[in-house]
Amino acid sequence: MSAITRRRALGAAAAAAAGLAAGRALTAPAPAQAAAPAHAGHHPAQHGPAPFDEVFQGRRIQGEPVHGGGHHDGHGGYAVHVDGEELHVMRNADGTWISVINHYEPLADPRAVARAAVRELNGADLVPLDLG
């Protein structure tokens, strides 16, 4: 019978640690940022995000559900404006929202997206996006 070597003991310990880490990663809850309110994934006709109209950091932001066709229906059925200019927003499959300004920062609702866009614009004008 051969004696266990230090190299084999360290290898076995490393394999066990890797297995435990992988198991924890598979059973860990999703990050809080990716979580969205339960109502966020619903279609606007089913109690989607509420309309808003406010001044945030000196900019007027507005948002409202859009019904009746147009390019908004394929992107969450919601229109957002910053100082009267349309901010193109889109609802992700997980219920979070993004815009052309913060495309890689999913947020819980269109109001949060509009506020993030105002912060990112830092006083600059929003240039209309031509989707045609």
Query: How many other CB atoms sit within 10 Å of the CB of residue 88?
Result: 18
| 48, 78 contact by CB (below 8 A) | yes
Reported as a single tens digit per residue, the pLDDT across 49-94 is 999 999 999 999 999 998 765 554 455 689 999 999 999 999 999 9
The DSSP bridge partners found for residue 54 are 61
Reported as a single tens digit per residue, the pLDDT across 4-51 is 777 776 666 666 666 555 555 555 554 444 444 444 444 444 568 999
Q: Domain locations in the chain? A: 34-121
Token pair, residue 95, equals 């219920």
| Class of 34-121 in CATH | alpha beta
pLDDT band at 127 (very low <50, low <70, confident <90, very high): confident
| 2, 55 contact by CB (below 8 A) | no
Token pair, residue 127, equals 């240039």
Total residues belonging to the chain: 132
User: In sequence order, what E strands does the chain have?
Assistant: 52-56, 59-65, 78-82, 85-87, 89-91, 97-99
Write down the pLDDT at residue 60: 97
Q: pTM (2 decimals)?
A: 0.60
